[in-house]
């Protein structure tokens, strides 16, 4: 199987040099997202195609009726499956979890499931007996960095877009029966989505390291400096903000070269759902805080786009017969 892609030294120095001059290779500014495109399937509910630059992710939400877990009779099931196939990039092996994949799936899990984006209690039909199992399948079709960001947006948008068939419960006691009305018969019901989490990944580059590497100082000298001079460390502290380049929404190349990253999931209620900063590069607290704030801004922007696309989609569906019929039924 192919090993991890390792960028060449030339690439490395080139990208870093550009970053010291505050230039990104795709001519974006440091805090600029790539073009984000969200489109919904015209035939089915809950199928979302998210394109973030050249990264492409499809999320598909489906629901079926099952039995709830015995220890949580009032909760429905919500599963997010994020298996990365070699389709995204040949480095991902089919059927074997890589470390990256693990991190991605954990972050998405935390961002959406643990933050309670979907109200699982609303999925309960008959407590302890029947409940909806909502399943989100995330397909990574193309990998150009920011897989988790794209996946998170896709699942969030998918949950908002998805409609489950309406149900009625008939009978009493143990003889209760659940009747599922196909979506052609009754207006399907949207899911109870409590908030829209949006994940944003920040990549950190140690520009100081880069500039010293370029100026010909070896890393050994640099290490010595840090060890010996306390005076110089004081200076570094002042430089800190300029020595760290913070990039939003890195491409694959930037992702492979970065020295550290932090992914923040935020929503429009100014809430932070999840922060994950891997232990890579030590970064000043202030930088982390400003990143979190930036994440909220991004979340607002993305949520706005999702809502806009949802409205457009609804308008498109309204043209068809389905909703017109549905509205007639509502009037009655």
Q: Give least dist CB 174 to another protein, A.
A: 29
Q: Is 268 in the site for another protein (CB under 8 A)?
A: no
Instruction: Report the C-alpha gap between 174 and 329 in whole angstroms.
Output: 31
Q: Give least dist CB 154 to another protein, A.
A: 13
Instruction: Report the C-alpha gap between 269 and 180 in whole angstroms.
Output: 35
Binding mask 285-324 for another protein (x = CB under 8 A): xx-xx--xx--x----------------------------
Q: Give least dist CB 160 to another protein, A.
A: 18
Helix 321-331 with 285-319: angle, nearest 10 deg: 90
Binding mask 126-155 for another protein (x = CB under 8 A): ---------x-x-x-x--------------
For residue 61, give the nearest of 20, 114, 118 by alpha carbon: 118
Q: Is 118 in the site for another protein (CB under 8 A)?
A: no
Q: Give least dist CB 304 to another protein, A.
A: 18
Instruction: Report the C-alpha gap between 278 and 259 in whole angstroms.
Output: 10
Q: Is 29 in the site for another protein (CB under 8 A)?
A: no
Burial 16-36 (b: 16+ CB within 10 A, else e): beebbeeebeeebeeeebbeb
Q: Is 86 in the site for another protein (CB under 8 A)?
A: yes
Instruction: Count the Cβ atoms, other than its own, within 10 Å of residue 48.
Output: 29
Nearer to another protein, 236 or 311 (CB): 236
For residue 248, give the nearest of 289, 179, 200, 285 by alpha carbon: 200
Q: How far apart are the first and last CA of the chain?
A: 62
> Collapsing DSSP states into helix, strand and coil, what is residue 250?
coil
Q: Is 237 in the site for another protein (CB under 8 A)?
A: yes
- Binding region for another protein (CB under 8 A): 1-3, 41, 43-44, 47, 58, 60, 62, 81, 83, 85-87, 90, 94, 99, 102-103, 105-106, 110, 114-116, 135, 137, 139, 141, 219-220, 223, 226-227, 233, 237, 260, 262, 266, 270-286, 288-289, 292-293, 296
């Amino acid at each position: 199987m192919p090993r991890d892609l390792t960028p060449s030294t030339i690439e490395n120095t080139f990208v870093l040099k550009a970053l010291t001059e505050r230039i990104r290779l795709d001519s974006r500014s440091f805090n600029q997202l790539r073009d984000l495109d969200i489109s919904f399937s015209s035939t089915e509910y809950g199928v979302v195609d998210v394109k973030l630059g050249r990264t492409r992710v499809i999320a598909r939400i489906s629901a079926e009726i099952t039995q709830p877990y015995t220890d949580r009779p009032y909760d429905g099931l919500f599963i997010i499956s994020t298996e990365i196939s070699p389709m995204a990039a040949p480095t991902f092996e089919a059927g074997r979890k890589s470390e990256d994949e693990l991190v991605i799936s954990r972050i998405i899990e935390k961002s959406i499931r643990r933050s309670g984006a979907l109200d699982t209690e609303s999925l309960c039909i008959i407590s302890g007996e029947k409940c909806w199992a909502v399943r989100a399948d995330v397909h990574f079709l193309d990998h150009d960095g920011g897989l988790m960001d794209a996946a998170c947006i896709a699942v969030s948008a998918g949950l908002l877009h998805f409609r489950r068939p309406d149900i009625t419960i008939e009978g009493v006691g143990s003889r209760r029966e659940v009747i599922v009305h196909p979506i052609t018969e009754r207006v399907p019901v949207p899911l109870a989505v409590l908030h829209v989490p949006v994940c944003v990944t920040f990549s950190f580059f140690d520009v100081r390291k880069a500039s010293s590497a370029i100026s010909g100082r070896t890393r050994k000298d640099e290490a010595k400096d840090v060890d010996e001079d306390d005076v110089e460390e004081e200076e570094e502290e002042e430089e800190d903000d300029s020595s760290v380049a913070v990039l939003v929404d890195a491409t694959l190349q930037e992702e492979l070269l970065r020295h550290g990253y932090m992914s923040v999931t935020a929503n429009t209620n100014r809430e932070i759902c999840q922060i994950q900063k891997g232990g890579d590069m030590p970064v000043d607290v202030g930088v982390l805080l400003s990143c979190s704030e930036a994440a909220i801004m991004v979340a607002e922007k993305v949520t706005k786009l999702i809502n806009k696309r949802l409205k457009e989609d609804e308008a498109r569906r309204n043209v068809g017969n389905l909703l017109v019929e549905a509205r007639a039924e509502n009037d009655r």
